[in-house]
Amino acid sequence: MNTHLTLSERPTLEPRWLLPAIDAVMAFLLFGAAYILRYELQIIRPVFDPLERGFGPYIPFAAVYALLIWLNFQRNGLYRNIAGRAWLEEVYLIASSVAVSIVIVLAMFFILQPLATSRLMLIYVAALTLFTGALSRLIRRWILAYLRHQGIGIRRVLIVGMGEVGRSLLGIMLTRPEFGYQPVGFLDDDGEIVAASMGRVAALGGTGQLADVIQQHLIDTVVITFRWKHYDLIQELTEVCREADTDLRIVPEIMQLNIREVQVENLDGIPLLGIGAHRSFSRANQLLKRGLDMLVIIAGFPIWAPVSLLVCLALALEGKGPVIYRQVRVGKDGQNFEMLKFRSMVANAEALQEAMLRESGEDPRHPKFVDDPRVTGVGRFLRRSSLDELPNLINVIRGEMSLVGPRPPTPSEVELYEARHRRRLQITPGMTGWWQVRGRSNVPFDEMCEMDMYYIDNWSITMDIEILMLTIPRVVLRSGAH
């Protein structure tokens, strides 16, 4: 069984020797590239020494540098398979490793006093190593994300206990598929929880069915979220996982206090867990978010303004109603506002919706109809390309919406919300969001809510920028839009 393995010891898609070998070979080759920059191209400063210096004297130093890069990457944990580690964190570790390696090689220059020495060349080596190391990690992330999107290298996860912590874990796994975790279902002994569903993640019964569920659904990892007061039950479930040779993870008791308020610090290797109120959307952050919205709108004006004029012309020529469609939506703190969109449906679309809901069985909290007969000819193109949402920019300028945030619901949808769903109304709604870039119309309501909760609890300005960047290919490829 692999329950004793650390995250760094878990299997990876590529052979474990491949990345270290690539780094070491690249470090050696980059030493040669830096030599070309310094002596052949003479970047920054010319070479005044009339004697032509070959690369031969540098070969031992290049070999030592390659070894040092491998050792420092290993020491800084760059070869450990840690789920959720940010790319910028890897870049920082690469920079730290490169700095230490270069200092050691520079010290060797001073001690050994070789005939060929160039401190400027070492700067080239460091810059090239940092750039290629950061780029290679980014490319690796893209490749792994693509493979996992294709179902390769994912771990099928079963969550045991669907309380607040279980729902938070589910939201993270759904929101961050690049981590490689695919939630298959959950177990809970609470009949009301089991009777409900979590979007496409099914309730598979109670804890007594753990062994059968592991076998039937080919579970790779079981995550137990029960409190430690259920110690005996956790022990029983642990034994079941051990007998099934299944990976097991248990959420620590301290995380049960309030998973969104726990902050982890590291004091020279000693973990410190801080419990305190954490507000992602402070007044300063709201101003920062608002500033990003206005900056993007102003920068994009030469693009969206003429496109909007063309859409208005097309709708006017179609002549089946007003160009702008207005609908009451619920915004921040439950305040109603009038959302603007380009008309994409027939005039009596809302009157027809109730009958369509009965016939289709769609979730009234988040109805999406494929091949909706109410959509007009021009409207079908606008919806596929998301151009019908361009007037939302006016709502953003007014401050009623943001570029990024939860989808603004209708008052009738809000009436069907449970208490936990109302957290989506704590912040300004957006034109795009986590659930849109992760599946758009294909995401069920419960999954959409979990993704919105994740966004609310983990917001940052870089997160908004990431979502905006991910939205572009989604719109261009028309993925998941109806």
Concatenated DSSP letters of 448-471: HHHHHHHHHHH--HHHHHHHHHHH
The Cα-based distances of 372 to 291, 328, 376, 389 in angstroms read 37, 21, 9, 17
Top pLDDT among 445 and 234 is at 234
* Residue 372 pLDDT > 80: no
* Residue 10 pLDDT > 70: no
- Residue 5: the pLDDT is 40
Give 378-426 pLDDT, tens digit per residue: 888 888 888 999 999 999 999 999 999 998 999 988 888 887 788 889 8
- Residue 7: the pLDDT is 35
Q: Band of the pLDDT at 260, cuts 50, 70, 90?
A: low
Q: How many CB atoms lie within 10 A of CB 291?
A: 11
Contacts of 94 (CB under 8 A, 6+ apart): 73, 78, 129, 130, 133, 134, 137
What is the distance between the alpha carbons of residues 37 and 455, in angstroms, rounded to a whole number?
45
Identity of the residue numbered 405: G
- Residue 94: the pLDDT is 94
Give 151-189 pLDDT, tens digit per residue: 787 889 999 988 878 888 888 888 777 778 889 999 988
The Cα-based distances of 275 to 227, 253, 259, 264, 324 in angstroms read 17, 13, 9, 9, 48
- Residue 4: the pLDDT is 40
* Residue 326 pLDDT > 80: yes
Give 27-45 pLDDT, tens digit per residue: 999 988 988 887 777 777 6
Contacts of 302 (CB under 8 A, 6+ apart): none
- Residue 8: the pLDDT is 35
- Residue 26: the pLDDT is 94
* Alpha helix segments (H runs only) across 196-342: 210-216, 231-243, 283-299, 301-318
What is the distance between the alpha carbons of residues 43 and 59, in angstroms, rounded to a whole number?
21
Total count of residues recorded for the chain: 482
Lowest mean pLDDT among 45-59, 60-74, 434-448, 462-476: 45-59
Concatenated DSSP letters of 107-119: HHHHHH--S---H
- Residue 424: the pLDDT is 87
Q: What is the mean pLDDT of residues 321-347?
A: 89
Q: Read off the pTM.
A: 0.60
Rounded mean pLDDT of the chain? 81
What is the distance between the alpha carbons of residues 210 and 187, in angstroms, rounded to a whole number?
8
* Residue 256 pLDDT > 70: no
- Residue 391: the pLDDT is 94
Closest CA to 116 of 31, 28, 26: 31
The neighbouring-strand residues paired with 14 are none
CATH node for 155-275 = 3.40.50.720
In the chain, where are the structural domains located?
7-149, 155-275, 283-476
